[in-house]
Amino acid sequence: LVNSGSSANLLAFMTLTAAELGERQIKRGDEVITVACGFPTTVTPMLQYGAVPVFLDVTVPEYNIDVSRLEDALSEKTKAVMIAHTLGNPFNLEVIKKFCDKHHLWLIEDNCDALGSRYTIDGETRFTGTWGDIGTSSFYPPHHMTMGEGGAVYTNNPKLSRLILSFRDWGRDCICPSGHDNFCGHRFSGQYG
């Protein structure tokens, strides 16, 4: 959990900049496919970390990414696709997931406007936000489930989960449970510089 959906998007993107990801790490100048018509905090994490958003148009009246242009947006520098499901209307996850798998791209699903939406691919139905590598949600009042404030970042990938927790705790997460600073006595036992 984090303080907002905006922070959830920032944390999700920040996770993919980790050196632990090797060749898949997103670095300055790498490209991320997104939409031209969307919420600003889906795009601002890319800019904050020096990535280059590659904007695709949306279809009307769905206001989701025009998947017919995905291959045109792809370049040697493309590392990820980060887009939101618009107003509870899932984008074409089947096409985008296959595109990301084919080109070894990360998929971040901004699920802040689609909590509870479902999508079926090849007979398997799952909640939106769980098809990609990382999903995000917001609990701000205009969204589906509100706590006044708050957000969440989630993944099924153990390595990404560990990185998410570490980044959320300002890199202080070691082998201790979250919120227990140096409970294990190993927090300062390594040389990291």
Catalytic residues: 143
Look at residues 188, 190, 191, 168 and name the one whose alpha carbon lies nearest to residue 178: 168
Instruction: Using CB atoms within 10 Å of the CB of residue 19, give its burial: 0 to 12 exposed, 13 to 18 middle, 19+ buried.
Output: exposed
Structure-block tokens of residue 73: 């947006």
The position carrying tokens 């031209």 is 36
The position carrying tokens 């985008």 is 96
Q: Are 8 and 153 in contact (CB under 8 A)?
A: yes
Q: What is the DSSP letter of 48?
A: H
C-alpha distances (whole Å) from 94 to each of 87, 90, 125 are 18, 10, 11
Count how many Cα atoms sit within 13 Å of the Cα of residue 12 in the half-sphere of its side chain. Answer: 36
Q: What is the DSSP letter of 74?
A: -
